[in-house]
């Protein structure tokens, strides 16, 4: 009876290839053609979408060979992709998406890895040795949380470029809460991760349940750790005595007729000093 092919598609990191050399050499050394039907490398070297896949095929695998192969691949962090077939990858060769090379023996591995048609771009490690910073995530600095009423959102949003211009990242609900995400959980996470908070206190702020929640949460964090810079911008028509404000020992800015740029000039020095002193 004719045996059916068993294909395994593995997704690799195009920029991290060196660790795969001994893995593939071991596989080809210990599993010959009587068990291992094919090992095929497919690479996409279009700069906008670098891709690297390894397809391993068996038609009559010897006992334990498939498990050995899986363990080798997973040990190097390769991702098994049963949602992709070798047929689909092969069809994309016709669309000039992939170049491919089949490995038959151990010596083929180094030849393939040094093949400039397959890999015209060097590995990440070589670039890092040259001083390039690769894959460093952005947006991980502790931000300044903007606590405000939704009715004041437009004005508060216009304050953001002044903060960013001073090198200060911002947590702003309109940007930092995704559609479908729990608002409460997102706000709690923002409060926990923020280096400071600006309370934009208007009468609408006082009457907002969301603002009251944020004020309470930040008050609790400040009372327990004091690891937080707290700035309140209180508008002139607000009766400050109506605020259950637990930061009553902290100086706040009483806004009269100042425009946003003037307010920014007043609060930015404190924010920048705090950020500098705390390396946030």
- Domain-wise residue ranges, the chain: 6-129, 144-278
pLDDT in tens, 160-215: 999 999 999 999 999 999 999 999 999 999 999 999 999 999 999 999 999 989 99
Residue 67: HSE in the Cβ half-sphere, 13 Å Cα cutoff: 3
The pTM assigned to this predicted structure is: 0.71
Query: Which pLDDT score, from 0 to 100, does residue 136 have?
Result: 82
pLDDT of residue 168: 93
How far is the first Cα of the chain from the last one, in angstroms, to the nearest whole number? 67
Q: What is the pLDDT of residue 88?
A: 96
d(CA 19, CA 148): 51
Predicted local confidence at residue 277, as pLDDT: 85
Question: Which pLDDT does position 95 carry in this prediction?
Answer: 94
Segments of the chain with pLDDT less than 50: 1
Query: CA-CA distance, 169 to 177, in Å (whole number)?
Result: 15
pLDDT of residue 244: 61
pLDDT of residue 239: 82
- What are φ and ψ of residue 87, in 5° steps? -60, -45
18 and 126 in contact (C-beta within 8 Å)? no
Residue 15 has a pLDDT of 96
- What pLDDT score was predicted for residue 99? 97
Superfamily of domain 144-278: Toll/interleukin-1 receptor homology (TIR) domain (3.40.50.10140)
pLDDT on residue 246: 55
Write down the pLDDT at residue 245.
59
């Amino acid at each position: 009876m004719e045996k059916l092919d068993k294909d395994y598609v593995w997704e690799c990191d195009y920029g991290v290839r060196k660790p795969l050399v001994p893995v593939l050499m071991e596989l080809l050394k210990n599993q010959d053609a009587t068990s291992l039907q094919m090992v095929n490398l497919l690479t996409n070297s279009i700069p906008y979408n670098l891709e690297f896949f390894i397809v391993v095929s068996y038609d009559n695998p010897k006992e334990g060979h498939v498990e050995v192969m899986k363990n080798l691949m997973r040990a190097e962090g390769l991702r098994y992709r049963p949602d992709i077939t070798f047929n689909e990858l092969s069809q994309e060769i016709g669309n000039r998406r992939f170049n491919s090379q089949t490995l038959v023996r151990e010596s083929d591995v180094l030849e393939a890895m040094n093949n400039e048609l397959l890999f015209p771009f060097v590995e990440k490690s070589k670039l890092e040795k040259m001083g390039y910073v690769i894959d460093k995530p952005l947006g991980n600095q502790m931000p300044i949380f903007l606590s405000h009423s939704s009715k004041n959102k437009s004005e508060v949003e216009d304050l953001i470029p002044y903060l960013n211009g001073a090198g200060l990242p911002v947590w702003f609900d309109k940007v930092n809460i995704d559609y479908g995400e729990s608002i409460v959980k997102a706000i709690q996470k923002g409060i926990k991760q923020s280096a400071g908070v600006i309370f934009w206190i208007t009468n609408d702020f006082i009457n907002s349940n969301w603002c009251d929640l944020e004020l309470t949460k930040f008050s609790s964090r400040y009372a327990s750790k004091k690891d937080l810079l707290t700035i309140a911008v209180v508008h002139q028509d607000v009766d400050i005595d109506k605020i259950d404000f637990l930061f009553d020992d902290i100086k706040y800015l009483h806004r009269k007729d100042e425009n946003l740029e003037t307010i920014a000039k007043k609060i930015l020095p404190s924010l920048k000093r705090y950020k500098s002193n705390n390396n946030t």
